[in-house]
């Protein structure tokens, strides 16, 4: 029965997506494109630096047969499982994993009814968000956003949190997860600064990408009119809180968040009755969801690792091509996938998830995640030393490792 309902839900979702994409929207679509000229999507096509690197594949839209919809619906009935395969789900929904997942979760939580949301506006907003992710990015694309949203959903369901969250908390958590990397250009902030991208100067070289993800989200919220029926102070509050959540994903602020989190846990002073404390936990949950790849089962984790490194290498190739200094982690000849992953796990992921596990006291999910994390880390370590792929990897390691804080700054993706 549940599968049938899910199936009907997906049919409705996809029908709406097709309608919005294919008919009656030409005028507003053109208006939208003109209005959002500042987005990286548009910039990529106009930029001298990036021109030619964006493969222009004609958008093909295949109608799904019932089998695929049935399988996607079946997957949604197990969406809280930590081994949820988002890659498969994206294939089954014909690349609409983010829209389909968000509609399903909004339905599960009764958010459409609670906030009196207009279904057409909701689909339009989610369609815009999904469309503004760059499908040509190996990592920062709509599937990553869907993956982070699914992880966020699992964290919102943690026994420690679930009973304390208001509908607004859940709404903000899911929306921030879905939109947190929207219009990501596939290069990092140092690259934008050194190439003097206009957004780097607009945001004064600070949280450049995160600020852009947030401002783009606000633009799409207003354009879709999703919140236009709410009192002005409420929609403003939602926009601000979304900003605070999305900006928390800036990895260069990792230590600031980690130290505050640790202090709260040491002092045992987190009071989830307080909206400000719940907001802080939502920030931490989103940060965890954003970097949880090493906590997934090896088969999924490995695919994400290869994708993120592929994106780094593409940036390195671009820097090489334009005679710029190659950024850390972006040199395919020197920085191997196992080396990048062991550093990322040791300096970013493990310290954060150790505290998250403490916060959940520890939950079954936290223990499962830490189990995968330790196994995956050991596997990358073995691969690092058994299959060195570059000359530098074969030399005995004599240099001292930099301080953890310095190391974590390398991962400002
Ligand atoms: Zn992300």
Looking at residue 397, what is its pLDDT?
38
Task: Please answer whether residues 262 and 71 qualify as being in contact, where contact means their C-beta atoms are separated by less than 8 angstroms.
Answer: no
Residue 208 reports pLDDT greater than 60: yes
143 known member of a binding site: yes
Residue 166 reports pLDDT greater than 50: yes
Looking at residue 38, what is its pLDDT?
45
CA of 309 to the centre of ligand 1 (A): 14
114 known member of a binding site: no
Write out the residues surrounding ion ligand 1, Cβ under 5 A: 181, 290
Which strand (E) or helix (H) includes residue 32? Answer: helix 26-35
CA of 181 to the centre of ligand 1 (A): 5
CATH class of the domain defined by 291-413: mainly alpha
Q: Which range in 7-21, 48-62, 236-250, 379-393 is most confidently predicted, on average pLDDT?
A: 236-250
The token pair that represents 209 in the structure block = 């990408």
2-290 and 291-413 have identical folds? yes
Task: Please answer whether residues 89 and 97 qualify as being in contact, where contact means their C-beta atoms are separated by less than 8 angstroms.
Answer: yes
CA of 144 to the centre of ligand 1 (A): 7
Q: Is 48 helix (H, G, I), strand (E, B) or coil?
A: coil
Looking at residue 68, what is its pLDDT?
79
Q: Is 199 helix (H, G, I), strand (E, B) or coil?
A: helix
* Annotated catalytic residue within 123, 134, 140, 372: 140
Looking at residue 386, what is its pLDDT?
79
Residue 155 reports pLDDT greater than 60: yes
Looking at residue 413, what is its pLDDT?
47
Task: Please answer whether residues 53 and 138 qualify as being in contact, where contact means their C-beta atoms are separated by less than 8 angstroms.
Answer: no
Look up the CATH superfamily of 2-290: 3'5'-cyclic nucleotide phosphodiesterase, catalytic domain (1.10.1300.10)
Handedness of CA 362, 365, 368, 370 (dihedral sign): negative
Residue 229 reports pLDDT greater than 60: yes
181 known member of a binding site: yes
* CA separation for the pair 206, 306 (Å, rounded): 28
Looking at residue 50, what is its pLDDT?
42
Can you tell me which residue has the tokens 């990286």? 40
Residue 47 reports pLDDT greater than 50: no
Kindly list the domain boundaries of the chain, sorted by start residue. 2-290, 291-413
CA of 367 to the centre of ligand 1 (A): 23
Q: What is the pLDDT of residues 251-286, one digit of tens each?
A: 999 999 999 999 999 999 999 999 999 999 999 999
Looking at residue 406, what is its pLDDT?
54
Task: Please answer whether residues 305 and 337 qualify as being in contact, where contact means their C-beta atoms are separated by less than 8 angstroms.
Answer: yes
* CA separation for the pair 195, 174 (Å, rounded): 33
* CA separation for the pair 72, 100 (Å, rounded): 9
CA of 134 to the centre of ligand 1 (A): 13
179 known member of a binding site: no
Q: According to the 3-state scheme, what is the secondary structure of 254-267?
A: HHHHHHHHHHHHHH
141 known member of a binding site: yes
140 is a catalytic site residue: yes
Other CB atoms within 10 Å distance of the CB of residue 271: 11
Task: Please answer whether residues 348 and 265 qualify as being in contact, where contact means their C-beta atoms are separated by less than 8 angstroms.
Answer: no
């Amino acid at each position: 029965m549940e599968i049938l309902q899910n199936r009907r839900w997906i049919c409705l979702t996809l029908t709406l997506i097709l309608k919005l994409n294919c008919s009656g929207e030409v005028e507003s679509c053109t208006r939208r494109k003109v209005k959002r000229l500042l987005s990286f999507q548009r910039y990529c096509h106009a930029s001298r630096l990036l021109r030619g690197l964006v493969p222009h594949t004609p958008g093909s839209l295949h109608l799904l047969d019932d089998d695929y919809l049935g399988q996607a619906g079946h997957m949604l009935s197990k969406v809280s499982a930590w081994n949820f395969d988002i890659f498969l789900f994206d294939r089954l929904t014909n690349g609409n994993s983010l829209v389909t997942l968000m509609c399903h979760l909004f339905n599960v939580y009764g958010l459409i009814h609670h906030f009196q949301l207009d279904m057409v506006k909701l689909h339009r907003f989610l369609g815009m968000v999904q469309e503004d992710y760059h499908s040509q990015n190996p990592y920062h694309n709509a599937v990553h956003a869907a993956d982070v949203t699914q992880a966020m959903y699992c964290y919102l369901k943690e026994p420690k949190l679930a009973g304390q969250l208001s509908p607004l908390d859940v709404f903000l958590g899911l929306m921030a997860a879905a939109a947190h990397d929207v219009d990501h250009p596939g290069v990092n902030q140092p690259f934008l600064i050194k190439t003097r991208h206009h957004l780097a100067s607009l945001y004064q070289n600070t949280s450049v990408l995160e600020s852009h993800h947030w401002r783009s989200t606000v633009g799409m919220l207003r354009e879709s009119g999703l919140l236009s029926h709410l009192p002005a102070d409420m929609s403003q509050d939602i926009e601000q809180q979304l900003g605070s959540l999305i900006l928390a994903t800036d990895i260069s602020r990792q230590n600031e968040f980690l130290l505050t989190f640790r202090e709260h846990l040491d002092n045992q002073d987190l009071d989830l009755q307080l909206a400000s404390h719940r907001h802080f936990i939502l920030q931490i949950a989103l940060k965890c969801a954003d970097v949880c790849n090493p906590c997934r089962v090896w088969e999924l984790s490995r695919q994400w690792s290869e994708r993120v490194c592929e994106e780094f290498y593409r940036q390195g190739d671009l820097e090489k091509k334009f005679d710029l200094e190659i950024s850390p982690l972006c040199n395919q000849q020197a920085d191997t996938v196992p080396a990048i992953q062991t550093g990322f796990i040791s300096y970013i992921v493990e310290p954060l998830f150790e505290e998250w596990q403490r916060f959940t006291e520890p939950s079954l999910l936290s223990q499962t995640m830490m189990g995968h994390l330790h196994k995956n880390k050991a596997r990358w370590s073995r691969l690092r030393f058994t299959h060195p792929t570059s000359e530098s990897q074969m030399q005995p390691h004599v240099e001292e490792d930099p301080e953890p804080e310095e190391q974590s700054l390398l991962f400002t993706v």
